[in-house]
Amino acid sequence: MDNGCEYFCERSDDGVEVCNGRDDNCDGRVDEGELGGGEACDTGEEGVCALGELVCGGGEVRCVRRRDPLPESCNGEDDNCDGRIDEGNPGGGASCNTGGDGVCADGTLTCMNGGLSCVQLREPEAESCNGRDDNCDGRIDEGNPGGGASCNTGGMGVCGVGVERCMGSEIVCVQDRQPSDELCNGEDDNCNGSIDEGNPGSGGVCDTEQDGICGPGTLQCAEGGLVCQRNEDPRPETCNGEDDNCDGAVDEGNPGGGGACDTGQDGNCGPGTLQCSGGGLVCQRNTGPQAEVCDGVDNDCDGVIDGGSVCGAYIQQRCRLFVGWADDDTGPNTATTSWFSCPASDRDLAGDQRCVGTRRDGRFARLQFGGNVNDDDELAVALLCDDTSNPSLASYIDSHCALYIGQADRGLGTDSSPSWGDCPGATSDNEGDVRCTSSGFDRRFRRMLMKGDVNDDDQLAVAWKCVDANDPARAAALQAAARVYLGWADREDGAPDGSATWGPCPTSESPTSGVRRCVSSRGDGLFHLLQLDGDVNDDDQLGWALRAN
């Protein structure tokens, strides 16, 4: 037949039929046999429809599915070829028993993993009072589910206190406590309608754990419990060695202290301040003993103000007495800061106006008269203290200490007298038979006009006086610390200038005979007289010294 077979057979070596729509083996059949090989293939469809095999048809090899779609069954396959497996829970839905306890035994047949399983419908949950095993532990209503809350039984005190309990699937109030002896617990333990009556458990000694006097306490039943109630409340701190205010510190803040007091010690150690110490107030001195200085205070606390020679040495070294004389009434009539060339000059011993300053070494300075001494002659005196390192002390002495000199005619003077003429009530007195003048507490010279012819019935007097109404003890110490020496000599028999002695002074004082006589102030503030002898004229001399007592 004309199918080209003859030609094909002539060309074919083996005459094998292939899927091409021809009779390749010239047996009169086209594409016979399993030309697709029956090999598995993928049809490209979903589920079981995707499984195919290769088949020759129409002259070509095609993938033909092996199974057609079926209703879905629980087998883990896509039986209906819709792309889903076991959808719709095929074969499931019926009730079943999971084999668990309680509510966990209830289940439903469910298609899972290609097979039917009994799936538990409910998960275990907290047990509730319902007569069922909610937590699937094989027990029913265990643990008093829904109960445990306090409830009121209707009784008094603790007898009225109940606990809700799950009983027969219901919550009922069951009395929890029985009557007992009353305790301090804020409850009516004996069920009589009263709480903590009789202060039960109280009265014992206890510690509040507070500080100080607030620590000791007594047990008291209060607000349902025993509390340690302090025996004493806090109070202001007093000096008693206790913590009165309960702050943990004893006698803090120096209670009761701070006031001025007297230690009973001498001088600088006397003033004190009250201090709380050892549970009591003591007077603690403000300043301890110190080296004594000239300041009006007993610095070394030995009972002596400006003791020793501190003020005397200071006055001798820092203060000078300037004594002036003038003839013919030529001196200034009023108080003046200078007497002619003094104090600018240390001394001026020529002419009718003369002056001399005492030496700082305590030795005698000599003043020579320049003629007969009579009622036209004047004596003047000034005190000058200077100290750049301690100007206040120098100023204090200037303004609180003074030298007084006096003259008495016809023997009218009195030795060791508290006054001479109007002095010390006045700083100078130029009237009468008893006259005086002074340095006047102000660094100025004041004159004393001599009375009549000065001769052997006349007397000179000297006094060193310090006053301070506000601090009399200091003034008295300065007064006693220094002495002013007044010497007189006739016929130019005075001691040389700078001499340590004048006649018998300073070994003894106030001789009443001889041509060289002397007297001192003696530190008592009184006037001490020097009796003159003969006519006082230009061969007479005065000697002056200011020295520590």
Instruction: Report the phi/psi class of residue 450: left, alpha or beta, with left for phi > 0 and alpha for psi in -120 to 50.
Output: beta
Q: Closest by alpha carbon to 417, among 546, 519, 535, 536? A: 519
Question: Do the Cβ atoms of 88 and 72 come closer than 8 Å?
Answer: yes
pTM for this structure?
0.55
Look-up of token digits 């150690």? 269
Residue 124 lies in a domain: no
Query: What's the average model confidence in pLDDT over 457-468?
Result: 97
In terms of domains, do 448 and 509 share one? yes
Residue predicted with more confidence, 361 or 168:
361
For 147, list phi and psi in degrees, rounded to 5.
Answer: -100, -165
State how far the Cα of 203 lies from the Cα of 199, in Å rounded to an integer: 9
Give every CB contact of residue 2 below 8 A, 6+ residues apart in sequence.
Answer: none
Residue 136 lies in a domain: no
Residue 332 lies in a domain: yes
Residue 488 confidence (pLDDT): 95
State how far the Cα of 434 lies from the Cα of 425, in Å rounded to an integer: 14
For 220, list phi and psi in degrees, rounded to 5.
Answer: -135, 140
Query: What's the average model confidence in pLDDT over 147-162?
Result: 87
Q: What would the pLDDT profile of 51-93 be if each residue is shown by its tens digit?
A: 888 888 777 888 889 888 989 899 888 888 988 987 888 877 7
Three-point CA angle 438, 444, 449, nearest 5° = 50
Which residues on adjacent β-strands are paired with residue 97?
Answer: 106
Query: What's the average model confidence in pLDDT over 183-193?
Result: 90
In terms of domains, do 275 and 418 share one? no
Tokens representing 409?
A: 């005619």
pLDDT band for position 461 (cuts 50, 70, 90): very high
Tokens representing 466?
A: 């310090």
Residue 219 confidence (pLDDT): 95
In terms of domains, do 405 and 511 share one? yes
In terms of domains, do 482 and 386 share one? yes
Complete DSSP assignment for 429-470: E-SSSEEEEE-TTTT-BEEEE--SS--TT-EEEEEEEE--SS
Residue 512 confidence (pLDDT): 64
Query: What's the average model confidence in pLDDT over 320-347?
Result: 95
State how far the Cα of 431 lies from the Cα of 408, in Å rounded to an integer: 11
- pLDDT exceeds 90 at position 177: no
Residue 11 confidence (pLDDT): 41
Tokens representing 453?
A: 């012819």
Q: Which of these ranges, 117-131, 199-213, 402-416, has the smallest mean pLDDT?
A: 117-131
Q: What would the pLDDT profile of 253-280 be if each residue is shown by its tens digit?
A: 999 999 999 999 988 899 999 999 999 9
What total of structural domains would you count in the chain? 2
Residue 510 confidence (pLDDT): 60
In terms of domains, do 335 and 481 share one? yes
State how far the Cα of 75 lies from the Cα of 256, in Å rounded to an integer: 104
Percent of the chain with pLDDT over 90: 60
Query: What's the average model confidence in pLDDT over 478-487?
Result: 96
Tokens representing 31?
A: 């594409």
Three-point CA angle 68, 73, 78, nearest 5° = 55
- Name the average pLDDT for the chain: 90
- pLDDT exceeds 70 at position 9: no
Residue 1, burial from CB neighbour count under 10 angstroms (0-12, 13-18, 19+): exposed
Residue 502 lies in a domain: yes
Percent of the chain with pLDDT over 70: 96
- pLDDT exceeds 50 at position 435: yes
Amino acid at 92: G
Residue 14 confidence (pLDDT): 64
Give every CB contact of residue 331 below 8 A, 6+ residues apart in sequence.
Answer: 324, 339, 353, 378, 380, 447
Q: What would the pLDDT profile of 390-426 be if each residue is shown by its tens digit?
A: 999 999 999 999 999 999 999 999 999 999 999 999 9
Query: What's the average model confidence in pLDDT over 189-214?
Result: 92
Q: How far is CA 221 from CA 198, 209, 224, in A?
A: 9, 18, 7
In terms of domains, do 270 and 361 share one? no
Residue 277 confidence (pLDDT): 95
State how far the Cα of 108 lies from the Cα of 524, in Å rounded to an integer: 135
For 54, list phi and psi in degrees, rounded to 5.
Answer: -75, 130
- pLDDT exceeds 60 at position 12: no
- pLDDT exceeds 50 at position 118: yes
Look-up of token digits 């803040």? 253
CB contact burial 213-243 (16+ within 10 A = b; e otherwise): bbbebebbbeeeebbbebeeebeebebbebb
Q: What is the largest CA-CA distance in the chain?
A: 210
Q: Which of these ranges, 125-129, 349-353, 520-524, has the smallest mean pLDDT?
A: 125-129
Residue 517 lies in a domain: yes
In terms of domains, do 354 and 487 share one? yes
In terms of domains, do 518 and 411 share one? yes
Question: Do the Cβ atoms of 145 and 132 come closer than 8 Å?
Answer: no
State how far the Cα of 163 lies from the Cα of 517, in Å rounded to an integer: 126
In terms of domains, do 350 and 275 share one? no
Residue 447 confidence (pLDDT): 97
Residue 213 lies in a domain: no
- What kind and span of H or E run contains 395? helix 391-400
Q: How far is CA 549 from CA 50, 274, 546, in A?
A: 145, 38, 9
Residue 32 confidence (pLDDT): 83
In terms of domains, do 533 and 395 share one? yes
Sheet with strand 401-408: strands edge to edge: 428-429, 434-438, 401-408, 459-466, 528-531
- pLDDT exceeds 90 at position 428: yes
| Domain extent at residue 265 | 252-288
In terms of domains, do 332 and 280 share one? no
In terms of domains, do 390 and 475 share one? yes
Strands (E), 256-377: 260-262, 271-277, 280-285, 319-326, 347-348, 353-357, 365-368
Instruction: Report the phi/psi class of residue 262: left, alpha or beta, with left for phi > 0 and alpha for psi in -120 to 50.
Output: beta
Three-point CA angle 302, 305, 308, nearest 5° = 75
Residue 119 confidence (pLDDT): 85
Q: What would the pLDDT profile of 13-51 be if each residue is shown by its tens digit?
A: 467 888 888 988 999 998 887 776 678 888 888 878 888
Residue 50 lies in a domain: no
Residue 442 lies in a domain: yes
Q: Which of 94-108, 128-142, 261-275: highest mean pLDDT?
A: 261-275
Question: Do the Cβ atoms of 432 and 393 come closer than 8 Å?
Answer: no
